Structure 1
Amino acid sequence: NEEKTKETFSILREMAEKEALANKNKEREKQSNKQKG
């Protein structure tokens, strides 16, 4: 049971990291678009 919890936790963390990366990329795009004018 504990193994399953660890597995779920790592999957959730992976998803959270991917989401954070996607948000960073979106922000970066916004910034570069502003700079381009």
Structure 2
Amino acid sequence: MNGATALINTLADCGVEFCIANPGTSEMHLVQALDAV
């Protein structure tokens, strides 16, 4: 597990249901983690 996955899992555990992202270079780890949830 990396930091992006931990962050996405924490947000999901806290009830966050939506994430608006503009995929690019710096946030691709977060976008990839979103695919796994």
TM exceeding 0.5: no
Higher RCO (Cα < 8 Å, 6 or more apart) = 2
Q: Which has the larger radius of gyration?
A: 1
The interval holding the TM-score normalised by the smaller chain is 0.3 to 0.5
